[in-house]
Each structure stands twice: as C-alpha cells, then as structure tokens.
Amino acid sequence: MNLENFNYKFKDAINILKTFNKNGFEAYFVGGCVRDFLLGKDFSDIDITTNALPEQVKNIFRKSIDTGIQHGTVTILVNGESYEVTTFRKEDEYVNHRAPDKVEFVSDLKEDLDRRDFTINAMALDSKGKLFDFHNGEVDLNNKIIKTVNDPNERFFEDALRMLRAFRFSSKLGFDIDSNTIMAIKNNAKLIEYVSIERIVNEFRKLLEGKGNNNSMQLMIDSTLNSYIPFIKDITVIEDFSKYTFCQSLYILSTLNKISTDELKKLKLSNKELKLVKEYEKIRNEFKNNNPLEIILYKYDIDNVRFICSYFKFRDISEINKVKLAITSLNDIDITSEEIIAFINRKPGPWIRELVTLLEYEILVNGLVNNRDNILDFLEKMRDNI
C-alpha cells in the first residue's frame, strides 16, 4: 500500500475515520471507492461503514441528513462535502427478490462485508490505509474477474438486480465474469422480472457506457437474462456502443435488431428520450428520401444530424459543417403570416402553412433572398397557384 497515494486520494475523508476512532468507534472506507483506489482509478463518491449506530453518527457529526436511516444510512456533511455513512449490518429475508425485509445492525466488519454483492466491492480500508479483504477481492481485481461474495445463487435470489449489475461492472471495468456466477445468472434469470424497469434501465444505461460493453452484452445474451427484459429480449446483433449516448445506442439497437417503437416504450424512458430516438428515425428517413441537406439541418438539431450522417454514412461530416443556413427558424423570414394573408387577400387556412413551407424551401435551397420585397415578388408570381 502506497501510503502517500492513499493520503492524496482520500484527503480530508481520512480525518472522518479518525474522528470515529477518537470517539471509540471503528470506521472504514468501503465499496466502489476502495475498488477504484486499488485499480488506480479516480473516484468521487466516498462511502464509509462503521459500527456506530445512526444516532451516534449524528451526535458525532452535527451536520447530517437522514438519507436512509431505517437501513442505517446517514449522510454527513464535512467541509462542504457529503459522505454516506452506513452502520455495519446484515440483511434478513428479502422481499420480492429485491430489498431486505429488515436489517440488523452488527458489530463485526466481516459480517457487513459478507452481505455485499461482488468480491471487488466487498473490501474496506481503515484510516491508515490497511486493507480488509475477506473474500479475495484484490485477487479478483488483479485477475479481472467479477465474482459474487459467497454463493452466487443466494446473492441473486436475494436481489435479482445484482445479475444485471454483474454485466454492468464487467462492461465498466472490462472484466470477465466468473463461470459459477454466470451459471447462477442462467439459473435465476427469470427473477429479473421482479425488478422495476426503471432500475433495470439505469443499469443498462451504465452497461452501454462501459469500455467492455460489447463483450458484456454478449455475455448477457448468452446467459439468457435479456430474455426477461422488454426491448433487450429482442437484441441479438450488437456492436461497440461506448462512443454513443444512451439514446443513440438505443436507436442503433432498434435499427440493427428491427425492434419496434412500442417495445422501446416499455422501457419507460422519459418523454424527452423517447422523442429523441424518434427524431433519429425521422432524420434517417429524410436522408433516405434524398431531401436537401439544408432542409434537414433547418428542421433538426445539428448534432443529431451529424450522428445519423456519420453512423449511416449518408454524407461526410465536413459537408454538414460547411452549410450556412440563410434562416434558422420561421421567425427569421422577413415577412409575417399576417402580411402574407393580406397580400394574397384570401381567408386563412391550411394553405398558409403550405406557402410558408415553400418559402422556407426557396430561401434555404433555391437562393431566394430573404427580404420582404423579394418575398413579395415571389408571392406575386405564385399568386395564381395558391
């Protein structure tokens, strides 16, 4: 253990552990921050576990928030930073393969680490940088393997979301998954149906962002876990999604696997996300219909156009970057709808929208100069066809 690096990475948080110790309690850094520290990765969230009860934690640290006090979790505020502190605990019967029916506070660190999901997340560090590793998590880190703490069937039966988290961590870290862990996922895959789609999508989002997403997706498909999840159950064709946003990845998956929008809706995405995925399809159809690039850029966000252009190789990105639009919105046209109606001298109706659309096209594509006189000359020539 490089003590200098430990002191640099955990900084002021070390004094929190020392404060617990001065007050007669044990306290340790635990979970993801320990894992990432040992991997030499940066981390932002620092979680702490202690044998102090929640009320004792609140007595020691006056600034706190009861973020999950019924499960022993208090968030303390120190020097403008927040730290989640959880009392050592073990968990009894789980409800619906997701959450423990009740928790029992314990005094032993090992008992607390025994309840955690994967060996690489079940390590702790004290204020001096000493590692407590009862499940060979450091060995699994070095071997780049995801393995559950103790019996994988028990871990997944307790909390079915852990199965998807196995693939998420595999993707994030670029690790393989232990064969016994994979077998347990196959045996328990149907239990994922007990987990809310919102939680599933949250894990799937993180899976797609990881550097090992391609391999992890294939492992998930091989495990049959995807068979019980809407939209994901229809995925057979995959690629590397790490350079794409979540919505871009969903659209690519929809396209590659010919998955319907109705199936996508089952993921309960936000209206904004669903609208964005639909917009990608609209842009693609614009290109397939050979509509002018100026019209496409006028109607849609340039980054979305770049994505579709790049992925489907419709145009070179340099072409998009060269386009300078004469107008960027309806408000830029140098004449109002009211002025057009007065000039044409006709009762308002659907024709006005059609005429404005024609004006947009003429200005953007055919070079009609955007000033009122030129537009009126154009309308005069069009009068008999309106």
Is the domain of 222 the same as that of 315? no
pTM, to two decimals: 0.87
Write out the H or E segment, with its range, that includes residue 176.
strand 176-177
Question: What is the spatial distance between Cα 284 and Cα 294, in angstroms, rounded to a whole number?
Answer: 14
Nearest in space to 355 (alpha carbons), one of 283, 285, 338 = 338
Is the domain of 192 the same as that of 245? yes
Listed residues 252, 268, 284: the one ending a domain = 268
Is the domain of 182 the same as that of 260? yes
pLDDT in tens, the chain (386 residues): 678 889 989 998 999 999 999 999 999 999 999 999 999 999 989 999 999 999 999 999 989 888 888 789 999 999 889 999 999 998 766 565 556 556 788 989 999 999 999 999 999 999 999 999 999 999 999 999 999 999 999 999 999 999 999 999 999 999 999 999 999 999 999 999 999 999 999 999 999 999 999 999 999 999 999 999 999 999 999 999 999 999 999 999 999 999 999 999 999 999 999 999 999 999 999 999 999 999 999 999 999 999 999 999 999 999 999 999 999 999 999 999 999 999 988 899 999 999 999 999 999 999 999 999 999 999 998 876 76
Is the domain of 3 the same as that of 76? yes
Question: What is the spatial distance between Cα 375 and Cα 279, in angstroms, rounded to a whole number?
Answer: 31
Is the domain of 135 the same as that of 153? no
Does residue 200 contact residue 171 with C-beta atoms inside 8 Å?
A: no
Is the domain of 334 the same as that of 211? no
Listed residues 268, 288, 313: the one ending a domain = 268
Is the domain of 63 the same as that of 4? yes
Is the domain of 24 the same as that of 41? yes
pLDDT attached to residue 102: 65
Is the domain of 12 the same as that of 139? yes
Question: What is the spatial distance between Cα 49 and Cα 28, in angstroms, rounded to a whole number?
Answer: 5
Is the domain of 174 the same as that of 254? yes
User: In the 8-state DSSP scheme, what is residue 24?
Assistant: T
Listed residues 231, 249, 268: the one ending a domain = 268
Q: How many residues does the chain have?
A: 386
Is the domain of 63 the same as that of 170? no
Structural domain of 181? 144-268
Question: What is the spatial distance between Cα 360 and Cα 291, in angstroms, rounded to a whole number?
Answer: 14
Is the domain of 372 the same as that of 254? no
The DSSP bridge partners found for residue 206 are: none
Question: What is the spatial distance between Cα 169 and Cα 172, in angstroms, rounded to a whole number?
Answer: 5
Q: Domain of 371: which CATH number? A: 1.10.246
The number of folded domains in the chain is: 4
- For 294, residues 6+ apart whose C-beta sits below 8 A from its C-beta are 323, 325, 364, 365
